[in-house]
Amino acid sequence: MSTAFPFLPRALLIQTAEQGATLITPNRRLTRAIKREFDAEQIKRARSAWPAADILPYSEFLERSWSELSRIERGATLLSAEQETALWERVIADSPQGEILLNPAATARQAREAWAIRHAFRIDTARYAAMFDEDGAAFRSWAKRYGKICAEKNWVDGARLADAIAAAAIKPRNIVLYGFDELSPQQQELFKALAAAGGNVNEAKPEANAAPAVRAGFPDAEAELYAVASQLKQTLAKQPDARIGVVVPDLAQRRSDIVRIFDDVLQPARVVSASRERARPYNVSLGLALTEYPLVASALLILELARGELALDDTGSLLRSPFLAAAELEFTLRALLDARLRESGRPAVTLKMLAREAHGAPQLAARLAAWIKLAGEARKAKQPPSAWSAVFQQLLGGLGWPGERTLDSEEYQTFAKWREIISKLSTLDLIAPRLGYDEALKNLKRLATDAPFQPESPEVPVQVLGILEANALEFDLLFITGLTDEAWPQPPNPNPFLPLAVQRKLNVPHAGADWQLEFARRTTHAWRACAIDIRFSYPLRDGDRELRPSPLLREAPEAQTALEDVALYRRAIFAARAIEPLADFKAPRLPAGIKVKGGTDFFKDQAACPFRAFALHRLGATGVEAGHAGLDALDRGLLMHLAAENLWKELKNSKQLAGASEEELKAAAGRAAAGALNSIRKKRPDVMTQAFTALEQERVAALLMRLLELEKNRAPFELLAREKPQRVTVAGVEVSTRPDRVDRLADSSRVILDYKTGRGAGVGDWLGERPDEPQLPLYAVSAGRDDVAAVAFVQLHAQDVLFKGLSREKDLLPGVYTLAENKAVAKQCADWKDLFESWRAMLENLAREYLDGRADVAPKDYPKTCRYCELGALCRVKEIKDRGPVTADENDE
């Protein structure tokens, strides 16, 4: 292979293409750039028609050569990338290691990469067998099996395609290799074989001139991107046709930040209107996985639902998707269905449950009724991948995907790409003759995940590129960002299945620090040949860590430019604001006698924050439930309440408790726990498996036995009421209450008890104008101070089972003191009567606040009170706290 022109100006490269040479580049982006320049040169010469230039990337050159060879020699079959990956997965799954791998798909990709490196760098695995570790030994066994299958089937894969073409010795035309960093041994042998067969093969590099460059540091990575975007905006304002490149070393990780910041600065109208009608002035070379696009994500959720079950959050996403039939017509109905499904607390929704609950959205319900049968038949089938392509299309069509509205340009291109992926599933017939539903869907997901997709857009002036993509391109201005000493040179990333020492010895790309350093030096020099204005940049901090510039930037002088304040559209809108302070904490007054939903929670919410009570009990602004695995705190609290109620339903009084034997009490506790668990099982059958139920029954019964030991030390009593509902009116507000338990003592006085499964609540939570736990004071005041002898929490916790409360007399409840003995309470209340009067006044004040329409955002203890509140987006408490309270006087200004 000859090298006639090691450094070739672009004009001569175009002339070489005009003379009929085949130009081979390392990537598609460089191919497109040279083709554009070629066509521009023909237009410049006033030509109306011209032969297309033969310019293509290396991978397409191999595929075209194989097609030419196949027309001459029939027999071998070339595997596609998708078929190769499927074959590797099959080989690995059938191996002893396949059963223990957590991510077989990722393992298959790395094994396929190791196989390609082995052939590209002529690694003799037998020669280096002693150097392979356990993972390497597994790879050798997989590779042996993979190679044997390919030989038996007469299959050729991408790793050996160059060797097959070299062996065929087809005489090529004049070839110019342009823009390659290094050729692998396999590539060198291929082009030597083509030259030996009579071809003329030359390698050329871009012109070697190096433009001057400057470097600049910025406070952090975000400030760096904003500064770059601001400079882009200024440049485009002066030179709309300027060719600009932005290189980002970690483009895959920073893509979302780049799009967000560049849109903010360069395309503010797109951010404000959330519209995609206007094309961005920049293009990001790295596409997203096809599964990241909403249209495809909804399709995969439909197919996942056909398995019979879907995660709760995914079900909500699917119900609110615009890509289902009648999505716009039933949008609100389906959102309500989502909220209703979340009330069950289940982390997943079965297909049958969804169909049963969908009656509120009639068009969806009608489709699901027919679709269930279709999904059931699909789950039972076992057929070739090509047959699954049709089934998947049928399942999607059954729910009306991709919807009834007209798809915009990006969505339409995504839809076309999805159809292409569905078609590619058929090519797996060669590798996997018959598949079940789950395996077929897994293969489809893998194909979509492995398919990076970028919707086509018009030619734009700014190109955002990865490390290698800028090489050999030409720009007027080139930014290279993120060049800290940690990022450039990049850390080594060797393949885990090949011996590291061998990879380093053979100079396998990215395998060792020495290779990375030399590669970074070559690339940095190559960047300086790409533009006349080069600007290197780097962040100075990452959180609390200080960062330093790459040592490869030492020769570049530091730019003497101050960090500019970026002019953002949203800032301009905010600066032009006209604020009208409005104290909106007053709602219309309510009439006395009104019924309020929520029971005792009403007083608790009003005490915590008037706005919370207003929003929850007057506006009905409840939060959306989140599914959870197992029982949450609310479920466990309900379980203990039910178990305690069942227990005292059987025992009834202290005399029966004292007269029962230990065995009888254990049996009673077991029955009470079993009955409660049976009730919970009806609500959460997904959680209450046989093993889990047995564990919970043991735990609950043990807590009940500890409670009974505590109750044996009480003064004689009998159960008067258990969870008995009653209506209570306080200062014109009527609420429903349901005291956990009311006991009657020998003198006919009452003890009011409330079960708590947590440890935090205590007597202090009943005191003050805005108590944290006002329910026991409400129960006590409703019963009357003369009838109530004690009020207490019954703490049922694994660490403590005890009473916490106050009593009128000594020794009524174990561990409960009288008012006089409790110093904190005695400071505020002189006696039992005074305590009840303070409670009554507190409750009446809270009720009157609600009737008067008080609705100000005034949490009792910010931010603690707001920590678990779901109304933050509605009340905007953070904004109010940051700004300071709005007073009623401001309305008069």
Q: Where are the alpha helices (DSSP H) in 104-247?
A: 104-120, 134-153, 161-168, 185-196, 221-238
The DSSP code sequence of 107-122 is: HHHHHHHHHHHHHHTT
Calpha distance 418→396 (Å, rounded): 12
Question: What is the DSSP secondary structure assignment for residue 291, as one 8-state letter?
Answer: G
Q: What is the pLDDT of residue 471?
A: 80
Q: What is the pLDDT of residue 889?
A: 46
Q: Other C-beta atoms within 10 Å of 495: how many? A: 21
Q: For 463-477, 574-588, 762-776, which range has the lowest pLDDT when averaged over its residues?
A: 574-588
Backbone angles phi, psi at 212, to 5 degrees: -65, 150
**Nearest-5° angle of CA 434, CA 440, CA 441?**
170
What lies within 8 Å, CB to CB, of 299 at 6+ separation is 323, 396, 401, 402, 418
Task: Please check whether residue 654 is in contact with residue 717, taking contact to mean a CB–CB distance below 8 angstroms.
Answer: yes
Q: Mean of the pLDDT values across residues 108-123?
A: 95
Q: What is the pLDDT of residue 672?
A: 93
Q: Mean of the pLDDT values across residues 495-520?
A: 93
Which of 198, 194, 178, 175 shows the shortest CA–CA distance to 186?
194
Residue 349 predicted with pLDDT over 80: yes
What lies within 8 Å, CB to CB, of 449 at 6+ separation is 289, 290, 291
pLDDT band at 877 (very low <50, low <70, confident <90, very high): confident
For residue 393 the two structure tokens come to: 């299309």
pLDDT band at 199 (very low <50, low <70, confident <90, very high): confident
Could you give the C-alpha distances from 868 to 316, 426, 608, 862, in angstroms and in order? 22, 50, 12, 11
345 φψ region: left (φ > 0), alpha (ψ -120 to 50), beta (else):
left
Task: Please check whether residue 796 is in contact with residue 757, taking contact to mean a CB–CB distance below 8 angstroms.
Answer: yes
Residue 618 predicted with pLDDT over 50: yes
Q: Is 848 exposed, middle or buried (0-12, 13-18, 19+ CB in 10 A)?
A: middle
Task: Please check whether residue 888 is in contact with residue 583, taking contact to mean a CB–CB distance below 8 angstroms.
Answer: yes
Calpha distance 873→852 (Å, rounded): 24
Task: Please check whether residue 621 is in contact with residue 615, taking contact to mean a CB–CB distance below 8 angstroms.
Answer: yes
Q: Other C-beta atoms within 10 Å of 317: how many? A: 16
Backbone angles phi, psi at 469, to 5 degrees: -75, -20
Residue 509 predicted with pLDDT over 80: yes
**12 or 487: whose pLDDT is higher?**
487
Q: What is the pLDDT of residue 137?
A: 93
Counting other chains too, the contacts that 513-517 makes at CB distance below 8 Å and 24 or more residues apart are: 513/489, 516/489, 516/490, 516/491, 516/492, 517/489
Q: What is the pLDDT of residue 605?
A: 93
Strand partners, 793: 754, 804
Digit-coded pLDDT (tens) for 439-469 = 999 999 999 998 888 888 778 899 999 888 8
Which of 758, 681, 754, 761 shows the shortest CA–CA distance to 723?
754
Residue 71 predicted with pLDDT over 70: no
Calpha distance 734→556 (Å, rounded): 78
Which of 671, 630, 635, 636 shows the shortest CA–CA distance to 650?
671
Pairing of strands 817-818, 309-311: unpaired
Q: What is the pTM of this model?
A: 0.82
423 φψ region: left (φ > 0), alpha (ψ -120 to 50), beta (else):
alpha
Type of residue found at 461:
P
What lies within 8 Å, CB to CB, of 107 at 6+ separation is 92, 101
pLDDT band at 892 (very low <50, low <70, confident <90, very high): very low
Task: Please check whether residue 386 is in contact with residue 429, taking contact to mean a CB–CB distance below 8 angstroms.
Answer: yes
Digit-coded pLDDT (tens) for 50-69 = 889 999 999 999 999 888 87
End-to-end CA distance of the chain: 86
**Nearest-5° angle of CA 299, CA 379, CA 412?**
15
Calpha distance 85→500 (Å, rounded): 24
Calpha distance 871→622 (Å, rounded): 8
What lies within 8 Å, CB to CB, of 703 at 6+ separation is 640, 796, 798, 801
Q: What is the pLDDT of residue 201?
A: 86
On the CB side of 594, CA atoms within 13 Å amount to: 16
For residue 310 the two structure tokens come to: 């879907």
For residue 864 the two structure tokens come to: 């603690």
Residue 111 predicted with pLDDT over 90: yes
The fraction of the chain above a pLDDT of 90, given in percent, is 53
Task: Please check whether residue 477 is in contact with residue 466, taking contact to mean a CB–CB distance below 8 angstroms.
Answer: no
Q: What is the pLDDT of residue 888?
A: 43
147 φψ region: left (φ > 0), alpha (ψ -120 to 50), beta (else):
alpha
Q: What is the pLDDT of residue 4?
A: 44
Which of 177, 254, 675 shows the shortest CA–CA distance to 482?
254
Q: What is the pLDDT of residue 172?
A: 66
Task: Please check whether residue 305 is in contact with residue 351, taking contact to mean a CB–CB distance below 8 angstroms.
Answer: yes
What lies within 8 Å, CB to CB, of 3 at 6+ separation is 202, 203, 204
For residue 814 the two structure tokens come to: 């174990």
Task: Please check whether residue 68 is in contact with residue 60, taking contact to mean a CB–CB distance below 8 angstroms.
Answer: no
Which of 21, 19, 17, 49 shows the shortest CA–CA distance to 33?
17
Residue 890 predicted with pLDDT over 80: no
For residue 229 the two structure tokens come to: 């975007």
**93 or 278: whose pLDDT is higher?**
93
Calpha distance 875→885 (Å, rounded): 13
Calpha distance 155→132 (Å, rounded): 27
Q: Mean of the pLDDT values across residues 315-338?
A: 94
The DSSP code sequence of 230-274 is: HHHHHHHHH-TT--EEEE-TTHHHHHHHHHHHHHHHH-HHHHHHT
Q: What is the pLDDT of residue 268?
A: 78
For residue 283 the two structure tokens come to: 């293009």
Q: What is the pLDDT of residue 671?
A: 94
